Structure 1
Amino acid sequence: MIQPKQWPWLGLIASLSLLTGCFDRSSSTAEQQKAQQSESSQRIKLAMLLPPRSALNPLSDDAFKLSRWSTAETLVKLDQQANLLPSLATSWEQLNATEWRFEIRPEVIFHDNTPLTSQAVVNALNVAISASPKPRILDGVELSVQADGEHAIIIRTQVRDPLLPQRLSSPQLSILSLNAYGENGVISPVKAGTGPFVLTALHGTSSATLERFDDYWGEKAQAPGIDVSFVPDGMARAAALRTGSADIVEAIPVSQAPLVDQNLVHEVPMPHTNTLYLNTRRGVMSDPAMRAAVRQALNREQLVNNVYEQRADIAKGLLGPAVAWAEQWRQPVNYPVQAAQPKGQTITLATFTDRTELPEVAIYLAQQLTDAGFNVKQDVREYSQIESDALAGKFDAFILSRATVLDSGDPVAYLYSDFSCEGSFNIAQLCDPNIDQALKEAAQLTGVERQKAIIAAENAILASDAAIPMLHERVIQGEAAHVRGALRDPRERELIDNHTYIARDEAL
C-alpha cells in the first residue's frame, strides 16, 4: 500500500492523460497543465500541530480541526467579543426558563448533497447528548431536542441554562449529515459538513484534503482547496514556513520564531493557561500539604524567561489576560493548608511532546521540585499516547496547556469539565461538593454577577492546589507573505474561511 506523502503539495502531477479526438492534443495538454498548475499554486498549504486523535470524530477535540478548515458548521458562532452570530440557525428565542427555539437556515445542503433539515440537526445533537463520554461542552447539562416543523428545533434543559446558545457554538456540536453517523458510534465528517470547504479525504494521521464546495449556502470560497499536513515536530513546522513548503503554520515554537522572517510570524494572545495538574485522589499529591509544597516550589518567572523567552505572561489565576474581565474581580487566595516538607517522596511528572515547549517546562519543573526535596521521575510522550493515562489519574503531576474558553467562549464549561466531580477532563481527579456548588451557581447567572461567581469558583479551585496555573501563552502563527485573510483566532476555532486565499501574483 502506498503511503501518502507528508507534504502532498510538493510536486505537481508528473503526467497527464492523453486526450483523444480531432484536435491538437499537445496544445490541449499544455493548456490543461497550465490551468492545473495555476490552481495548484492557489491551494492553501497548511501545517498543523496535532494529528487527529480519533479520525476527526466531531465529538472529540478533532472537531476544532473541522471548524478551523471551515468544513463543519454549528447552529451559531461567536465573534471576537464572544457575541452570538447566526450560522446554520438564523434566529433563536427563549420560550421560557428551560425552552429555546432555533430557526434552521433554509436551502442549505450538506457536502453529500442531502438537505439540511430539522431532522438532521436533531440527529446530530442527540448523538452528542447520548455519547459516552459526552463532549465537554455538555458536562453537567441535561437537555433534549425535538423538531418543530421542517426548519426549526426546540431544545429543553432540565434547569435554567443561560449559556445554552453559547454551548451550541462549540465545534463539538457541529451539524453533519445523517450519512455521517454509522454503526457502533463511528462518525465520519468526510463529505458530511456544510461549510465552504468539503473534506474529501483523510490520510490517517499524515494529511487531509479539502476542496472548495461550490454549492455552499454563503459566499463561495476564494481558494480552490486546502492541503493539510500534520506536523507535530515544531522545528519541521518552522522550516516549512521558511522554505515555502507551507503557507500557514500553526504554533511555531518560541525557540524557532527568531529564525523566521519576523514579517511572517504573528503573536496571538490566547486563553491558554499552562497549568500543573496535581492528582488529588491517589499517591503523594492526595495530601493537600504536599500539593502546597509543589505550589511554593514553582518559579514561574524562570519558565517565562528561559523557556518562553518572555513570549508569555506569568499566571495570576486559571483565567488569563485573554479573559479581559477576570482580573478586576479576582481576590487573594486563602490557602487553608501549610506546605509539608517532601523529604524525598517520589512523584511522576508527565507531559506531552506535541507542544514543543512543554518537555522543556518539565525539565525546569523537575529541577525546581528536586530542589524542594522531591524525587522526580518524568514521563513524556505524544499526547495521543498519554491522554488516557492522564485522565485515569496515573500521574502525580501533569503539565497541560489548557484552553480556558475554547468550548463555549465562557469559562464555566472549562471549569466544570476540569474540576467538577463529574467533569470529563478531570486530570486532577478533584471532587469537592463546594466547588461543584459554586460552578452550578455561576452557571445560573448572567452578566457581571456571572463573572464574579466564576472568579469565586476559580478561587476555590486554586485554594485546593489541584491545579497550579504557571503562565498564559501567546501562540505564534506563521503566514507566508502571499497569504491573505488568514484568521488569528484566540479561541482556536477559526483559521481558514471563505475569504482566505493565496495571492502569489499580487504586489507585496
Structure 2
Amino acid sequence: MRVPARLAPLAALSAASALLTGCFSGGQSATDDSGAGGKRIRVAMMLPPRSALSPLSDDAFKLSRWSTAETLVKLDADGDAEPALATEWTQSGRSWTFTLRDGVTFHDGTKLTAETVVNSLTKAAAASPKPRILDGVDLTAKADGDKVTVTTATEDPLVPQRLSSPQLSILAAKAYRGKTVSPVGAGTGPFELTKVNGTSSAALDRYDGYWGKKAKSPGIDVRFVPDGTARAAALRSGEADIVEAVPVSQAAVLDQDLITEVPMPRTNTLYLNTDKGPFKDAALRAAAREAIDAESIVKGVYEGRADVAEGLLGPALPWAAELRKPVKRAKAGDPASKTITIGTFTDRAELPEVAAALQQQLQKAGFKVKLDVREYANIESDALAGAFDAFILSRATVLDSGDPAAYLYSDFASDGSFNIPQLADPAVDKALKKAGETPTGDARRKAVIAAEAAVLGTDAAVPMLHERVIQGDAAGVTDAAHDPRERELVTADTYVK
C-alpha cells in the first residue's frame, strides 16, 4: 500500500508510543486479580470527558460504550426499539407505559424500581441544558407499580427511540447530588465504573450481579488520548487492546488486519453563521458552497476513506439518497475579499487538514480566511455562541435516537440546543416540526428528507463528506463491537485472549 508523503514517519509513532509507556499501569493490573481469570481490556479513547462523565452530556456515550449505564430500551440494527431495562411498552395518546425488567440491581446493590427510573428521567427532563434528545420535548414520568408512564406535551411517535439515548440512562438514586450527576458505582450494566481520574483515565470492573449475561472480561482500563498519532502508536506498540478513531493519516502504516473501517452516520459539515458577519448574506453563503471541492478533500485528506456528501444524511441511511430531490438554493454573490474566520478542533485529527484545504479553496474564490483551531473542549462554547463565521464539525446524524429528526432539530431549529449556524428560519422550523410529529415509517422518512431540503436551501450548512470511523483491535481482542452509532464498544462478550 502506498504511504502518502504527508504521513508522519514511523519514528513519530515510536515517539508517541514512548509517551504512552505505562499509561495503562499504575494501580490497574492487566489481569484479573480476583482469580476469575482473563485479561482486563485496555482502551484508548479519543475525547476526554467534558462533564465529569455526567450522563446528561455527550459523556453519556462513553458510559454506553463501556457497558456500564443502560437505558429502558435499545435500538436494533434498523433503528427500531427493543427491550433493555424495560421489557415491553404500550402507547395511549400522549402517554407510553413501560414494564420494567425484574431482578435488576444497580452497582451499589439497590434495586431498579419505577421510582428510580422516574427519578433519572425527571432529572434529565429538568436539566439545563437539556439532553439533546429532549430538544423541543416536554416529558414527564410517573411511577405505577412496576411500570413507568412517560407522557409528552404532544403526541410523540419517537418516545421509545428517545428513551434509548445514553443521555437518558437510568442510574441509582445516589448518582444525583444537587446539580451534579456521578455515574461511579451507579449503573446497571455488566461493568461497574469504579474510578475516574479527571480527564486522564477511568477504570471499570466486572459486575457479577448483572441481570444479563456475565461479562467475559474482568474489567476495563480506559485512557483518554486526544492525540491521534499517540492512539495509533498505542495499538502498534501493544499498549492498548482497543483504539477508538484511528486517524486516516495513521491507518496506512498500521497492520491492516488490526483495523476495521465502519461506515458512520457521521457527516463532516461546514456550518455558516446566518445571524451575523459575512454569511448573514445568503448570496455569500452560496458563494462559499460553490467554492468547496469536497471530492478533493476526500481524496487528499481522507485518502479515499470517506464518501462525498450529497446531503446531510449519508450512506448509513440508504433511504435518504432514494428520496432526495434537487434543492433550490440562492445564487452565489461576490465575496469581494470578505474576511471570515473558520473554527474547528484538533480532537479529530483530519479536521485541521480539512480546515487548511477549505482555507485554500475559499481564498481562491475571493474570501480572506483565518483559522482558529483548538481542542474541542476549549472551542465548543464559542461555536455554540456564534463566535465564528464558519465552523467545521464532524457530526453524528442519528446518534441519539436512531432517527435523524432529532439531530436536524437540535442543529437547525430556532431553539435547537446545538444550533451552531444560529439559524432562525420559519420554513425550516415548520419542516422540522412536521418531521418530528410524523409517525415512524415511510411517511416520516419523507418528512425528514423534506426537512433536510429546507435546511440545505438556506446554505446554513454545507455537507462535505460522510466519514468512516477506523477502529483498531489488537490481535487478541475478541468480539469488540463495531457500532456505526457509537453506542457500543466493549460489551459483555468482549475479551482479550
Q: Please indicate the TM-score interval, normalised by the length of the shorter structure.
A: over 0.9
User: Residue 345 of structure 1 aligns with which residue?
Assistant: 338
From the superposition, tell whether residues 257 and 34 of structure 1 become closer, same or farther in structure 2 (CA, over 3 Å): closer
Q: Which of 243, 251, 265 matches 1:249?
A: 243
Deviations 1:104-128 (CA, angstroms, capped at 9, x unpaired): 1122110111111111000000011
User: Residue 482 of structure 1 aligns with which residue?
Assistant: 476
Contact 1:6–1:206 (CA<8 Å) still a contact in 2? no
Deviations 1:85-117 (CA, angstroms, capped at 9, x unpaired): 1111011011x2211100111221101111111
Give the Å deviation of 1:34: 9.4
Q: Which amino acid aligns with 2:173?
A: L
Measured in 2, the distance between the counterparts of 1:34 and 1:296 equals 55
User: Runs of 4+ in structure 1 displaced over 3 angstroms?
Assistant: 5-8, 10-14, 33-41
Contact 1:6–1:229 (CA<8 Å) still a contact in 2? no
Are residues 1:290 and 2:287 paired? no
Secondary structure, aligned partner of 1:266: strand
Q: Which amino acid aligns with 1:174?
A: S
From the superposition, tell whether residues 395 and 6 of structure 1 become closer, same or farther in structure 2 (CA, over 3 Å): farther
Q: Please provide the CA RMSD for this pair.
A: 1.6
Secondary structure, aligned partner of 1:256: helix
User: Residue 161 of structure 2 aligns with which residue?
Assistant: 166
Measured in 2, the distance between the counterparts of 1:311 and 1:145 equals 44
Question: Which stretch of structure 1 is more off in the superposition, 439-448 or 423-432?
Answer: 439-448
Q: Which amino acid aligns with 1:74?
A: T
Q: Which amino acid aligns with 1:143?
A: L
Measured in 1, the distance between the counterparts of 2:31 and 2:93 equals 61
Give the Å deviation of 1:9: 2.8
1:118-267 matched pairs, under 5 angstroms: 118-149=114-145, 151-183=146-178, 185-267=179-261
Measured in 1, the distance between the counterparts of 2:103 and 2:79 equals 27
User: Residue 405 of structure 2 aligns with which residue?
Assistant: 412
Secondary structure, aligned partner of 2:252: helix
Give the Å deviation of 1:330: 0.1
Secondary structure, aligned partner of 1:325: helix
Q: Which of 494, 498, 505 matches 2:488?
A: 494
User: Residue 274 of structure 2 aligns with which residue?
Assistant: 280
Deviations 1:196-227 (CA, angstroms, capped at 9, x unpaired): 00000000100000000010011110000000
Q: Which amino acid aligns with 1:285?
A: F
User: Residue 403 of structure 1 aligns with which residue?
Assistant: 396
Measured in 2, the distance between the counterparts of 1:225 and 1:8 equals 16
Q: Which amino acid aligns with 2:346?
A: T
Contact 1:92–1:102 (CA<8 Å) still a contact in 2? yes
Measured in 2, the distance between the counterparts of 1:291 and 1:40 equals 59
Measured in 1, the distance between the counterparts of 2:33 and 2:143 equals 45
Contact 1:124–1:176 (CA<8 Å) still a contact in 2? yes
Give the share of equivalent positions with the same residue, in percent.
Answer: 62
Measured in 1, the distance between the counterparts of 2:456 and 2:55 equals 32
Q: Which amino acid aligns with 2:71?
A: T
From the superposition, tell whether residues 12 and 456 of structure 1 become closer, same or farther in structure 2 (CA, over 3 Å): closer
Give the Å deviation of 1:299: 0.6
Contact 1:6–1:207 (CA<8 Å) still a contact in 2? no
Deviations 1:334-379 (CA, angstroms, capped at 9, x unpaired): 11x2111111111100100000000000000001111111111100
Q: Which amino acid aligns with 2:107?
A: H
Contact 1:289–1:339 (CA<8 Å) still a contact in 2? yes
Contact 1:314–1:470 (CA<8 Å) still a contact in 2? yes
1:453-472 matched pairs, under 5 angstroms: 453-472=447-466
From the superposition, tell whether residues 35 and 270 of structure 1 become closer, same or farther in structure 2 (CA, over 3 Å): closer
Contact 2:32–2:38 (CA<8 Å) still a contact in 1? no
User: Residue 20 of structure 1 aligns with which residue?
Assistant: none
User: Residue 110 of structure 1 aligns with which residue?
Assistant: 106
Are residues 1:64 and 2:61 paired? yes
Give the Å deviation of 1:137: 0.4
Q: Which amino acid aligns with 2:45?
A: M
Deviations 1:144-187 (CA, angstroms, capped at 9, x unpaired): 110011x111111111110110000000000001000002x110
Contact 2:342–2:390 (CA<8 Å) still a contact in 1? yes
From the superposition, tell whether residues 135 and 272 of structure 1 become closer, same or farther in structure 2 (CA, over 3 Å): same
Instruction: Mark the runs of 5 or more structure 2 residues left unpaired by the alignment.
Output: 1-19
Give the Å deviation of 1:79: 1.4
TM-score (norm 1): 0.92
Deviations 1:453-506 (CA, angstroms, capped at 9, x unpaired): 100110010010000000000000000111001000000000011000111xxx
From the superposition, tell whether residues 182 and 35 of structure 1 become closer, same or farther in structure 2 (CA, over 3 Å): closer
Measured in 2, the distance between the counterparts of 1:122 and 1:59 equals 15
Give the Å deviation of 1:441: 1.1
Contact 2:191–2:204 (CA<8 Å) still a contact in 1? yes
Secondary structure, aligned partner of 1:121: helix
User: Residue 7 of structure 2 aligns with which residue?
Assistant: none
Q: Number of aligned pairs? A: 477
Give the Å deviation of 1:36: 3.8
From the superposition, tell whether residues 156 and 234 of structure 1 become closer, same or farther in structure 2 (CA, over 3 Å): same
Q: Which of 88, 92, 116 matches 1:91?
A: 88
Measured in 2, the distance between the counterparts of 1:79 and 1:307 equals 33
Give the Å deviation of 1:38: 8.1
- Greater Rg over alpha carbons, structure: 1
Are residues 1:354 and 2:347 paired? yes
User: Residue 419 of structure 2 aligns with which residue?
Assistant: 426
Q: Which of 35, 38, 41 matches 1:44?
A: 41
